[in-house]
Structures are given as structure tokens and as C-alpha cells.
Amino acid sequence: MKHHPPPGAVTCARRLRREMTDAERKLWRMLKESFDDWHFRKQVPLRHFIADFASHRAKLVIEVDGGQHDASVDLPRTRVIEDEGYRVIRFWNNEVLGNPDGVWAMIDAALHDRHPTPSPSPSRGGGQQKRPPHQGEGL
């Protein structure tokens, strides 16, 4: 059964899309350049929450957390989203900004339902995904 977002959620999501953080912008670029086949959307209303990024095709939600996030608050949110059939993965802002190759490897592993090695290997063959942009490249 499809759940429609509560009143005001779409307006809020549109505002959040315009006001993305640097980490969210960088991750959005990565998702569009490297994982475009999975059709990620940004600031997606799911039940009474707005997920940072979601692929309905992959049933994957990606959250980018800053210092304001708290595990005790995020856990119930994650459970509600998981009850909708999605897998939720989270990254801290500093991970997205400082370790894009590691973030890329975690997303690639989640999309292909495998467990990544702690340090991403230089070759990532097997998928159609493109390599992530180098750290020095802009947002």
C-alpha cells in the first residue's frame, strides 16, 4: 500500500533540495555521475520523514549526517524507513567530504548487496558504475 507524505512534506523537500549542504551536493554529484542507472532522487518524502537520497529501484536510502544527528533520534526514523522495505546507510559529512572513494565503495557494495573491504581496492570491476571523481575535483 502506498503511503502519501503528510501535508507540507513536499514543500519542505523542495526547500531542502535548494539548500543542500556541501556534503549533500558532493554525494548527489557522485550518485548522478557514478550510479545514475539506479535513479537516485534527493530529499525524498518517505512516510513522515524526508530521506536525503533514495533509489526506489534499489530500495536504498542514503543519509548524510552532520553534528546535529543523534543515534537515539535516528534509530526510530531508520526503523520506519526499513519497514517500508528500504535499506538505510548513513555517512557523516566529513566522510563524504574527506573520503569519497570509501563512500563510493560502501554505496557500490550496498547496491550490489555485498560487504565491502575496509579499504576500497583500486579496481572496482564487475559493474557498470563509473569511478568516483578524484577528491581534488570540485563539488
With 0.75 as the threshold, say if the pTM is over it: no
Angle at 130 between CA 21 and CA 78, to 5 degrees: 45
| Residues facing residue 8 across a β-bridge | none
- Taking only the tens place, the pLDDT of each residue in 89-125 is 999 999 999 999 999 999 999 999 865 544 443 333 4
Q: How does 58-73 read in b/e, with b if 16+ C-beta sit within 10 Å?
A: bebbbbbbeeeeeeee
- Which domains does the chain show, CATH number per domain? 20-111 (3.40.960.10)
**What secondary structure letter does DSSP report for 20?**
-
pLDDT digits (tens, 9 = 90+) for 56-76: 999 999 999 886 666 777 888
| Cβ 96 vs Cβ 23: under 8 Å | yes
